[in-house]
């Protein structure tokens, strides 16, 4: 009987290890990372094309928090937001158009919000680096649509080198996904130029669990 119980316990632990994929780092348990960065080093970008030129947008105004169990990335939850008014494309007139009612309508909807729903297809790239697909509700211009982002997350235990950036353990996130402008009621004209219907979005940010 003891042998059967022991074998059952081993099978349970083995099965749990298959479905719970996380980081192999010093930290353990639930951790919360804050992505507010006064230094403006975190970035969200978007890329589109017109018949005449490519359009690159950039903002450093990223806020939000995520929480997860270090040993199980599927527990990931939280949200990230960026200020619409902070998005720059390098041309003032075009920036004004982006903030207008025809496009992002910053006056009525000042933030773009990414709210995590679930995590799947987790792959370990290293003890402290995981790759995954993150499903989220993406809210833009008052419209919420479900999107899936390809993400790479890197967990850095606090050390002398990381302390030069921020106190505490750090979580680096690189993510990318595509948006269909029509899904959010956006006309794909910017200052007389027709941009591509699909916009590529990227995020590169680092959060700390010391805040």
- Digit-by-digit pLDDT tens for the chain (211 residues) are 555 555 454 444 444 444 469 999 999 999 999 999 888 899 999 998 877 788 899 999 999 999 999 999 999 999 999 999 999 999 999 899 889 988 899 999 999 999 999 999 999 999 999 999 999 999 999 999 999 999 999 999 999 998 988 899 999 999 999 999 989 988 766 655 677 889 999 999 999 999 6
User: What pLDDT is stored for residue 154 in this prediction?
Assistant: 98
Residue 67: the pLDDT is 98
Alpha-carbon gap, residue 185 to 167, rounded angstroms: 42
The reported pLDDT for the residue numbered 49 is 84
pLDDT confidence of residue 16: 41
The reported pTM is: 0.87
pLDDT recorded at residue 91: 92
Nearest partner of 84 among 115, 46, 116, 136, judged by Cα: 46
Strands 198-208 and 170-180, sheet pairing: antiparallel
For the record, the structure tokens of 190 come out as 């910017």
Distances (CA, A) of 108 to 40, 87, 113, 141, 142: 25, 16, 14, 8, 8
Q: Across-strand partners of 130?
A: 124, 153
CATH C-level class of 23-208: mainly beta
Return the residue matching tokens 């006056």. Answer: 107
**What pLDDT is stored for residue 152 in this prediction?**
98
Written as six digits, the tokens of 172 are 């680096």
How far is it, in rounded angstroms, from Cα 94 to Cα 127?
44
């Amino acid at each position: 009987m003891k042998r059967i119980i022991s074998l059952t316990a081993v099978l349970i632990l083995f099965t749990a290890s298959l479905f719970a994929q996380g980081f192999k780092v010093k930290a353990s348990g639930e951790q919360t990372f804050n992505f507010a960065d006064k230094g403006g080093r975190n970035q969200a970008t978007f890329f589109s094309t017109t018949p005449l030129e490519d359009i690159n947008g950039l903002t450093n105004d990223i806020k939000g928090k995520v929480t997860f169990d270090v040993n199980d990335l599927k527990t990931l939850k939280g949200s990230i937001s960026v200020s619409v008014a902070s998005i720059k494309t390098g041309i003032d007139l075009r920036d004004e158009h982006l903030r207008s009612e025809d496009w992002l309508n910053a006056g009525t909807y000042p933030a773009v919000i990414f709210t995590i729903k679930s995590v799947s297809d987790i792959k370990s790239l290293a003890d402290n680096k995981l790759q995954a697909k993150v499903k989220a509700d993406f809210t833009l211009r008052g419209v919420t649509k479900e999107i899936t982002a390809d993400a790479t997350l890197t967990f850095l235990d606090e050390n002398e080198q990381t302390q030069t950036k921020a106190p505490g353990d750090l979580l680096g996130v690189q993510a990318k996904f595509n948006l269909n402008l029509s899904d959010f009621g956006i006309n794909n004209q910017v200052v007389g130029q027709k941009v591509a219907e699909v916009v590529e979005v990227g995020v590169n940010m680092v959060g700390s669990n010391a805040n």
